[in-house]
Structure 1
Amino acid sequence: MTTAQRSGVTVPAATAAGTALGALALLWTIAVLGRDDPSLGDAVPGTAAWWVTAVTVVVQAATLLPGRLRVPALGATAALALVLALVHPSALFTVSALPVLVASFRAGLTGRGRDVRRWALVSGMLVAVAQFANAHAEGGTEVPSLVTQAVLQAVLVVGLPLLPASVIAAQRTTRAAQQETLAAVTRERDARINEAIALERAAMARELHDIAAHHLSGISLMASAVARQTGTAPEEARSGALEIRKQSNVILDDLRRLVGLLRDTGPEDAGVKTLATIPGLIESARRTGAGVEFELRSDERREPGAGIGPLGQLAAYRMVQESLTNAARHAPGAPCAVTVDDRDPRLLRLTVRNAPPGPRTGSASTQGSGFGIVGMRERASLIGGFFDAGPTGDDGWETRMSIPRESDHDLSEPSA
């Protein structure tokens, strides 16, 4: 049981118990004071009025128990006070106002404004009628005075507790809105930082391409010269081979440096990403509360992913990762299905499909850079594969990638 659940159970119970004990203590106090006051003869413990009032306040306190019925509990306590005034009016009737007061404060603290106003009006009328009926039964004859007392009782018991409760509730709402705004600003800042990092990495990737192309072009030319000089000019060939070695070391150093800058350093990117790591990725998504189903359709004649090179397996992993991230962003709470079809002897096919977001899954993000789709398409193009994405017939979304196997792993059946 979480802290919130424990709070939801214990707070109403403590409120109800405290209200019942307070009302009974007030009844006992009135009984002690009524020993010397003839007008409070009904207040003596053991009389019918005392027991009926005690039972009524306990039942009123019990209506405060349901944690989800805090606003209707206000009407219930007021209605019980009216029943007490009609069934057994006495000088102890005023004690029944205590549970109504507590219910009014709790309703203003936790209820919605429209519901609180409606139930406060109904409860105030019930309290006023109950006060009028009790006072009239006790011998009151001046109707204007009785009406004034009834209205004043309703205002004090129902209206007055709503003022501090409304102020506290407004402060809570403001504080929650501020926290939400701060969280939104933090998310926006993180998104901008990530976008800037992605742009910087793209620039470094272009630089890596230029450096590699420059050095490799030189190495290719020197290798051609060395091949021609091997028989006729051994010393020149040896110098060319040493220069090739030097250039190779230079490009290796540049590649190590730039790849080190481009490499993600987070714990989630530690290790080599392959088809075998996709189930772990899905388990990580499930731990965040996402409903993700995984299906591997394999061929018994070979190991899963046979003939798919490291770049192809990395592209497959990133495609599933990015698709699940997009589903969580644009369709939060929607179930997802990841399918890896390894039965085709020439292609590995991956499909990630998510259902549309439900009505109670919260607001889906409609903003995005669009770089996720572009990145997946570029990865597929880099390995000679195919990528496609688009909406499904049920307003969901589906991404598809096909990755070709290497030629020496083509396990297709020979044609007849």
Structure 2
Amino acid sequence: MTTARRPGTTRSAATAATTALSALALLWIIALLARDDPSLAGAALGSAVWWGTAVTLVLQSAGLLWSPHRATAALAWTAVLSVVLAGVFPGGLFTVTALPVLVAAFLAALTAPWRGVRWWALGSGVLVAVGYFANGSGEGRSDGAALATQAVLQAALVVGLPLLPASMIAAQRATRAAQQETLAAVTRERDAKIGEALALERAAMARELHDIAAHHLSGISLMASAVARQTASAPDEARSGALQIREQSNVILEDLRRLVGLLRDVGPEDRGVKTLATVPGLIETARRTGARVDFDVRSDERRDPGAGISPLGQLAAYRMVQESLTNAARHAPGAHCVVTVDDRDPRRLRLTVRNAPPVPRARPASRGTGFGIVGMRERASLIGGVFDAGPTGDDGWETCMSIPRESHDLPERSA
């Protein structure tokens, strides 16, 4: 069974190998130049100094194999080895050891937190300066002040210089990571809110369906009792009652097929069955919040507006008015609203909620999710109705729902 290497391990190995090969290539070039440069005496290829420096470079590069979480330790390791080389084999090849230290400093600033890097970088810089000073002293230099100044500059260049670009890159990475985390958090919050809203809506619809089913079943129970009493004395009426029971049973089965869910208690409020008769109370509640809402009922005065409208249809009408008034308050605060119930068509009931444009200097709320329109359209589809919404010619907004009547409930039902 093979185990895939982690990306961080592969990058560390590639960095260490590249650093070692580059340092050894530079060491080889310096050894070639030593043939013509008397100042590099003793740095010839194959000499003890050369081999000692080569081993030091390999060991320094091997420190880069440590995990990114130990990049500061790798920086200290490369600096310590340079001091050891300066003490054992001082010479012109010491400068090559600055390459692994530079790479280690860059990696440390790139991967480790700045709070820890600054102290490790300061300590490593001191070690590099000490190594440079020891190497110069081992070569026989007697200008201590100048040598100390050069040692400090060497440490600043080797350790301090790579910290600047690495810190900028690390800051950019941290910024991108923070932005991605913020985006992920916003996405999770949005999904949670949508899930909560859907759960509450489903629970409310399930509770309301229970109430509707109870309404139908109560009627079925009463009709069944009447049929039981009329079976012997009035068989024709019993047969008619049985057909009505069958019709009511089909209605409730259809409602159950349209909307099935688990009954869940989402709170003590809003427990009553919502019908067209409760719409005036809804409008009055909106008026108490400061909204300007007019209620217009257009009827032929021969029947109640709710006649022939199933309980599920009346619930859809109530929710349509409720959601429309909520949207008007959110997107057009202060606008005048008109709720119209048109009962003149014997086959359909039409509801319209129209709001004018928002008043000047009003500040609409956020745009919202758009689920309100979707919910109203789905409710209309469940009852076989039609829903439409859109802007009006005067920059207002209008929602309309057409709800079919159940013919067997109409007063003017034909025989």
Q: TM-score, normalised by structure 2?
A: 0.61
2-structure distance, mates of 1:49, 1:2:
41
Local SS of the residue matching 1:63: helix
Return 5+ residue gaps in structure 2 as ranges: 264-415
C-alpha contact 2:32 2:45 (8 A) present in aligned 1:
no
Contact 1:222–1:244 (Cα < 8 Å) also in 2: yes
Write the distance in 1 (CA, Å) between the matches of 2:253 and 2:92.
97
Shift of 1:110: 0.9
The alpha carbon displacement at 1:2 in A equals: 8.0
Identify the residue that residue 250 of structure 2 maps to in structure 1. 249
> How far is 1:158 from its partner?
0.5
> Corresponding residue for 1:37?
37
The SS at the match of 2:233 is coil
Structure 2 CA distance for aligned equivalents of residues 71 and 115 of structure 1: 8
Tell me if 1:226 matches 2:262.
no
What's the counterpart of residue 142 of structure 1?
143
| CA deviation string 1:96-150 (max 9, x = no partner) | 1111111111111111222211111111001001111111222322222111100
Secondary structure at 1:64's aligned position in 2? helix
Is the counterpart of residue 179 in structure 1 residue 180 in structure 2?
Answer: yes
CA distance in 2, matches of 1:62, 1:209: 73
Q: Equivalent residues in 2 for 1:392-411 (5 A)? A: none
Q: CA deviation at 1:262?
A: 7.0
Deviations 1:367-390 (A, max 9, x none): xxxxxxxxxxxxxxxxxxxxxxxx
Say whether 1:75 aligns with 2:105: no
CA distance in 2, matches of 1:2, 1:160: 38
Q: 1:105 to 1:2 in 2, by over 3 A?
A: farther
- Any stretches of 5+ residues in structure 1 without a counterpart? 264-416
Aligned to 1:58: 58
Q: Give the counterpart letter for 1:36 in structure 2.
A: D
Q: What's the CA shift for 1:70?
A: 1.4
Instruction: Provide the C-alpha distance between the structure 2 equivalents of 1:129 and 1:258, rounded to a whole number of angstroms.
Output: 81
Task: Give SS of 1:230's match.
Answer: helix
C-alpha displacement at 1:208, in angstroms? 0.6
Counterpart Cα distance in 2 of 1:57 and 1:64 = 11
Q: CA deviation at 1:34?
A: 2.3
Tell me, in whole angstroms, the C-alpha distance in 2 between the residues paired with 1:11 and 1:244.
77
Match of 2:24 in 1: 24
Q: Deviations over 1:5-45 (max 9, x none)?
A: 52132122212111111110001111222222122222210
- Assess if the C-alpha contact under 8 Å between 1:40 and 1:91 holds in 2: yes
8 Å CA contact 1:27, 1:43 repeated in 2: no
State the match for 2:7 in structure 1. 7
CA distance, structure 2, for counterparts of residue 187 and residue 145 of structure 1: 62
CA contact (8 A) 1:74 1:123 kept: yes
Counterpart CA distance in 2 for 1:99 and 1:10 is 18
When structure 1 is superposed on structure 2, of 5-14 and 45-54 the one drifting more is 5-14
Matched, 1:122 2:123: yes
Q: Please tell me whether the aligned partners of residues 91 and 135 of structure 2 are also in contact (alpha carbons under 8 angstroms).
A: yes
TM-score by length of structure 1 reads: 0.60
| Correspondence for 1:87 | 88
Structure with the greater alpha carbon radius of gyration: 2
* Residues 43 and 93, structure 2, Cα contact 8 Å, conserved in 1: yes
Instruction: Measure, in 2, the Cα distance between the counterparts of 1:107 and 1:165.
Output: 8
SS of structure 1 residue aligned to 2:65: coil
Q: Offset at 1:200?
A: 1.0
Q: Measure, in 1, the Cα distance between the counterparts of 2:226 and 2:53.
A: 111
Residue 166 of structure 1 deviates from its aligned partner by 0.9
Separation in structure 1 between the aligned mates of residue 239 and residue 81 of structure 2, nearest angstrom? 107
Q: Deviation at 1:160?
A: 0.5
Question: Which 4+ runs in 1 deviate beyond 4 A?
Answer: none
8 Å Cα contact 2:83-2:131 kept in structure 1? yes
The CA RMSD over aligned residues, in Å, is 1.7
Counting aligned pairs with the same residue, the percent is: 71
Q: Aligned residue for 1:197? A: 198
Give the Cα separation in 1 of the matches to 2:193 and 2:115: 40
